[in-house]
Amino acid sequence: MSQVVSVDDASRCMKCGFCMSSCPVYTVDHIESHVARGRNVLIRWAGENSIPTDGDFGERLSYCLLCGRCEAVCPANVPSAAITVAARTNWVSKKGLNWLQRLIYRGILKQRPLMANLLDLAARIPGVSVKDGKPLRHLADSVSIFTRGLSIPKLSRPFLSDRLPSRINPPKGVKVRGQVAFFPGCAFEFFFADVGERTALALAEAGYEVVYPRDLTCCGLAVRSAGDLATAQLMARHNIEILSKFDHVVTGCATCSSALKDYGKWFPEGDAWQLQASNLASKVSDFSEFLAKEGFQPHPTEPVTVTYHDPCHLKWHQGIKDEPRRLLDSIEGIKYIEMEGADECCGLGGAFGIAHRDISLAIQAKKMESIKKTGAKIVVTSCPGCIIQLRDGAQRHGLPIEVMHISQLIRGQTEQHRKPPSVGDGEEQSPHPKSAP
């Protein structure tokens, strides 16, 4: 049963500091107000009005990736990431959002059709979008001045909802095992539509009738993490209503699955929506979690070396670490190499990666070093945010690797011939450097 976390939980921290050496941010800058222990003390003192809660305080709250790693090492099980979100929520309810946040969270992310129309317009600008495998040139790179150099993916054309029927049946000859609702999430709808398509098809190949409800909205996690709880609740309710009628809900986005499973904590204790949210949570699975649970045996692939990066939203927020590895291991042809620190954050953390670019890049550099040591050709992960950051890093560090979503390696047994995996919309990955670094 979910338990709503409040800023009062900060007082459970007894300042042992065990979180420090596992915090991706603190191990880069070593600033106490940027690690769970220091932030917990500050949040507690802010509640007691013994320190000024000025702009500096609000700013300090932003120095957290919400990766949740500190919670895993905390001997007192203090939910530090959730406490930070609670503090941000209090902050927002007191000081409000800035105009950009208001525009993005309340104006765009909440209004899925509006988002679709806006992005569709944007996608018509030459260079802003890609068709599968045929990258157009780079007007969209100018967008990176707004993201402080982070190369963001180009929009997909067409979007996922124009690629997939609202219902996909398993291929002929595959035993039908049931029905799943597919929750693609904004990233797979608009930016990695080919991956979204692959994810849905893999589920069909595994024997499921895949239903893609068109009127879903954003999962709301970005909005929730920024402290705009009211908007996040509206999004959650919208999705809960649509998804409640299904027995299984599957998403390929680690962030979305962690949000959908977590909706219960977004509503006050005893709220009617909390109960509904908890019911939904038990039906939600991450893509790899679902297939592993169902004992799915993927089709062999051509020989290739693969390593896996644990998305924080999967490992620390949902405890899913064995399933994706088991799935990869079960694919004949894959030589799996575990990277050092596979479960260390990639450094994106949504808006964090743009707001605190230098820290984000330092964390990314460590990850690239680990990937490089494996010598793997493909880095697999299960989160579009991680894909963005890892591709950005590979480009920045000149690593000759492909970054893929796990579904891109998965084919059903029915397919006669397994094609080499395609990188999909990964145009931003651009031509690989010829010389190995």
Regarding 48 and contact with another protein (CB under 8 A), the answer is no
β pairing state of 167-168 and 208-211: antiparallel
Q: What is d(CA 40, CA 38) in angstroms, rounded to the nearest whole number?
A: 5
Regarding 14 and contact with another protein (CB under 8 A), the answer is yes
We find the least distance from the C-beta atom of residue 14 to another protein, in angstroms, to be 3
Judged by CB under 8 A, how many residues of this single chain contact another protein?
28
Regarding 45 and contact with another protein (CB under 8 A), the answer is yes
Using alpha carbons, select from 29, 35, 33, 76 the residue that is nearest to residue 56.
33
Regarding 72 and contact with another protein (CB under 8 A), the answer is no
Regarding 52 and contact with another protein (CB under 8 A), the answer is yes
Among 2, 4, 6, 20, binds another protein (CB under 8 A): 20
CB contact burial 103-137 (16+ within 10 A = b; e otherwise): ebbbeebbebeebbeebbeebeeeebbbebeebbe
Among 5, 7, 24, 38, binds another protein (CB under 8 A): 38
Regarding 211 and contact with another protein (CB under 8 A), the answer is no
Among 6, 62, 72, 73, binds another protein (CB under 8 A): 73
Q: What is d(CA 164, CA 211) in angstroms, rounded to the nearest whole number?
A: 10
Shorter beta-carbon distance to another protein: residue 18 or 273: 18
**Rule CB under 8 A: which of 222-281 touch another protein?**
none
Among 4, 41, 143, 362, binds another protein (CB under 8 A): 41
Applying CB under 8 A, the span of 53-61, 133-141, 298-306, 383-391 interacting with another protein comes to: 53-61
Regarding 321 and contact with another protein (CB under 8 A), the answer is no
Backbone angles phi, psi at 267, to 5 degrees: -120, 150
Regarding 33 and contact with another protein (CB under 8 A), the answer is yes
Q: How far lies 422's CA from each of 138, 275, 330, in Å?
A: 21, 42, 20
Q: Which two tokens stand for residue 364?
A: 């990314």
Contact assessment for residue 378 and residue 305, using Cβ atoms and an 8 Å cutoff: yes
We find the least distance from the C-beta atom of residue 339 to another protein, in angstroms, to be 16
Applying CB under 8 A, the span of 49-57, 202-210, 243-251, 320-328 interacting with another protein comes to: 49-57
Write out the H or E segment, with its range, that includes residue 156.
strand 155-156
**Rule CB under 8 A: which of 75-114 touch another protein?**
75-77
- 130 forms beta bridges with 156
Q: How far lies 120's CA from each of 156, 305, 428, in Å?
A: 9, 37, 19
Where does this chain bind another protein (CB under 8 A)?
A: 12, 14-18, 20-22, 29-33, 38, 41-42, 45, 51-52, 54, 56-57, 60, 73, 75-77
